[in-house]
Structure 1
Amino acid sequence: MKETKYYTCEYCFKEYEPKRRRVQKYCSNSCRSSAFQLRKASQKNKDKSLPSIKSSEILQVPKTEKISAAGVGNAALGVLAVDAAKSLLTSRKNKPATKGDIDLLIEKLGGRYHFVKNLQPNIYGDYPFYDLMEGKIVYLKT
């Protein structure tokens, strides 16, 4: 006759019959993983408590960063070098348009208003023009 020894689960405190040769602490995998989660949470709460301060730490003054003229000069030279390299390596087609470029384009197109061919005149006989400054369609008498 086989004698069975019952153990008590360390998580849910129920009695169970072990399924392995060595001593089991938990009755099931769910109790084992729940106990691990509980230990992990209690460890986090322990870490959040106030840290102990050593007497040697109290006497130390935190170091402050100082701004020097050499550091500012180095940063300015670095920015200038990057901007110069960017302007040299970027082709003219890929550079952003400036207000001067837009004004030059308007002059080349022949003025502020550009005739729109695919729109019909309105009921008053005014023809549609695209206003390059405002960016919208206006109707003008010609």
Structure 2
Amino acid sequence: MKKTEICLHCNDDYTPTRRGVQKFCSKSCKSRYWYLKQNYTKEVAIDTIENKVVNSIAKVDKMSLAGVGNAAAGAAVVEVVKTVFTAQDNKPATKKDIQELKTLITGRYLPVNNAAKDAFGRSPFYDVETGNVVFR
């Protein structure tokens, strides 16, 4: 006469095929039991009629203050490293840079950088209104 056992996972009756070592009715119940036993948050709804597990698990990610602090510190370090290692020529223009360009362009005289100074040591400038080079 074969003895019936109760499955540890689904609580069904089953007749074991291996003497004394079988605790689950099937391999799927065994693997599901192991999976639920791990460090996952269990959201289990139990059907009261058959006493079976209906819904299973969902992994829940938790937010901690240390994690938020680490993320903020990492972002700050990246910004500092980016500003330190970026060459001045490759940095984006600031509001001050644009205002300096505007005052330079709106002025009447623009400096000429590729021409030499005259005999009196005066620098060449381009006169926007007349279109001539003037030494000042």
TM-score, scaled relative to structure 1: 0.37
**More contact order relative to length (CA 8 Å, sep ≥ 6):** 2
TM-score, scaled relative to structure 2: 0.38
